[in-house]
Amino acid sequence: MLSTAEDYRRWYRNVSGSRTFTASGDDTTLAANTDTKEQIFVQRIIGYITTDAAVSIVFGDTTPTVKVAEITTSPGDETRWDFDYGEEGIPLTAGEGLLMNHSATGLAGSVKWYAYKKRTVVGAP
């Protein structure tokens, strides 16, 4: 029985990670997925802003159909943003990855995400 967030990441394919981002504001795929039979489930995103700007960051799938979290415009220097979606997490669209999308340039900081990839379509090779 899967009872903790870590259990889900161990049982399925763990696609968690972390990265820093600079004020250049490039959109970044945090976890890739090109298999339409699999979905990424986002369990938690933690963002830490070190340099403030009139910019927001949206986390969602690469279409972008599903929006999972947003760090709002002008979040402030030295602020922490924590989005927790429980053990099972929130599913992204099948075949889509997890994207960090900056509205413009200016914010700098780091992000850590906890997620796993799971086959959700069965019966087809």
Q: How large a percentage of the chain has pLDDT more than 70?
A: 98
15 CB burial (10 A radius; 0-12, 13-18, 19+) = buried
Specify the pTM: 0.92
Comparison of pLDDT for 86 and 62, the residue scoring more? 86
Q: Say whether pLDDT at 125 is over 70.
A: no
Q: Where are the domains of the chain?
A: 5-119
Pick the CATH number of 5-119 from 2.60.120.380, 2.60.120.340, 3.40.50.2300, 3.40.50.970: 2.60.120.340
In this structure, are residues 99 and 30 in contact, taking their beta carbons and an 8 Å threshold?
A: yes
